[in-house]
Amino acid sequence: MTAPTLVIDRTLTQADFDLFARLSGDDNPIHVDPGFSARTRFGRTVAHGLLLCTILRGLAGRLLPGAVLLGQDIRFPAPTYAGEPMRFSATLTGQQIAVSVTRRADGVVTCDGTFEMAGTWTC
């Protein structure tokens, strides 16, 4: 039996980064200032890690409606840039959900890890 998986493809924009910065208060220039970011090792603005996790949490909630996020173990091995098509994936593995964000163009994983979930659900 194949583990239940949800996948969405999405291209985040600079406007998404800017809106998340306004909502969260995290206006670090690496996320919102293209001029500043151009002078960093990334060369351009990068997504907030929590923005990526929020999208992944949405997928997890669709896999396990009503479940509560108890904890997460997430890493960011590569940057997620504005304007690049990305694939967000969540796979149910028991009470954990394996999550990842992958660049569609080159297959590079920019975010991955697990969410520990708890609650009452039917699978």
Residue 22 falls inside a structural domain: no
Tens digit of each residue's pLDDT (9 = 90 or more) over 40-64: 999 999 999 999 999 999 999 999 8
Residue 25 falls inside a structural domain: no
Residue 39 falls inside a structural domain: no
CA end-to-end span of the chain: 12
Tens digit of each residue's pLDDT (9 = 90 or more) over 61-115: 999 899 899 999 999 999 999 999 999 999 998 779 999 999 999 999 999 999 9
The CATH number of whichever domain residue 57 belongs to comes to 3.10.129.10
Q: In Å, what is the CA distance from 35 to each residue of 16, 61, 100?
A: 17, 36, 29
Question: Is residue 46 within 8 Å of 13, Cβ to Cβ?
Answer: no
- How many domains are there within the chain? 1
pLDDT of 119 reads 73
Residue 65 falls inside a structural domain: yes
Residue 58 falls inside a structural domain: yes
Domain of residue 112 covers 5-11+48-118
pTM confidence score: 0.91
Residue 30 falls inside a structural domain: no
Task: Place 1 in a pLDDT band, splitting at 50, 70 and 90.
Answer: low
Residue 88 falls inside a structural domain: yes
> For residue 119, what are its two tokens?
């609650």
| Pairing, β 85-93 against β 96-103 | antiparallel
Residue 99 falls inside a structural domain: yes
